[in-house]
Amino acid sequence: MFAPTLTFPTRARGLAPQRGLTLVELMVTLAVAAILAMVAVPSMQSFLAARSSAGGADQLMQAIRLARSESLKRLAPVTICATSDPNAASPDCGEDWKSGWLVFVDTDRDATVGANDIVLKVGAPPASIGGLAEDGGAASVTFEANGLAGNAMAFTVTPNVSDTSSSTYTANVQHVCVTVAGQIQLKKGSGSSC
């Protein structure tokens, strides 16, 4: 009788199966990744610039709305002012809107935080914005008990872009406009103004 024999396929000596990528495949992959990065980076910079200036304008508008609504609710003057140090234990009004702002019940109507005044909110824009300034140089606005502002204000919030003539910069400038009637408007683009 014949005994069955088991045979196994043998591999030629010295040849191992290929694993990984060849140098050509790796170079093609890196070239495609570089092209995608070149396309994505400018779009991402524009997106980040838009988000930073929009976020700064939105936070400022919320603080102004709070000041107006609190003046109506409390039937008392409420002031929003710039502050140079919003993180201080006792923040005080200053000149630099980019550092932050205070919203407080201004019982003596002097646009400064006094002993009898009640601080309602301390805020600051995102650190990622390029700039925040009141166009007329005003450091505060007081909303009277009827919700009317003591003066009109116009703020400009700029994105953090080094080339101020670029379309990324000009398209993402935000203008926050406050009328004497207490209305707040947002206008976009460097060509617009209050």
How many helices and strands, by DSSP H and E, does the chain display?
2, 8
Residue 65 has pLDDT above 90, yes or no: yes
Domain extent listing, the chain: 23-188
Burial class for 115, CB neighbours closer than 10 Å (0-12, 13-18, 19+): exposed
pLDDT exceeds 70 at position 39: yes
For residue 148, how many C-alpha atoms fall within 13 Å in the half-sphere facing its CB?
5
**pLDDT tens column, 75-126:** 999 999 999 888 888 888 988 898 999 999 999 888 889 888 999 999 988 8
Report how far residue 116's alpha carbon sits from residue 2's, in angstroms, rounded to the nearest whole number: 112
Unique residue bearing structure tokens 């092209």: 35
DSSP string over 43-61: HHHHHHHHHHHHHHHHHHH
Overall fold of domain 23-188: minor pseudopilin epsh fold (3.55.40)
181-194 mean pLDDT: 84
Ranges 60-64, 113-117, 187-191: which has the least confidence: 187-191
- Between vectors from CA 51 to CA 46 and to CA 57, what angle results, nearest 5°? 130
Between CA 181 and CA 126 the distance in angstroms is: 28
| For residue 137, pLDDT beyond 80 | yes
Strands of the 174-178 sheet, one edge to the other: 131-134, 153-158, 174-178, 184-188
Q: Given the DSSP bridges, would you call strands 140-143 and 174-178 parallel, antiparallel or unpaired?
A: unpaired
Q: Could you read off the pLDDT of 45-56 as tens digits, one per residue? A: 777 777 888 888
DSSP 97: T
| 3-class state of residue 3 by DSSP | coil
Across the chain, mean pLDDT equals: 86
Percent of the chain with pLDDT over 70: 91
The H or E element spanning position 160 is none
Is residue 133 classed as helix, strand or coil in its secondary structure? strand
- Token pair in block for residue 162: 């080094």
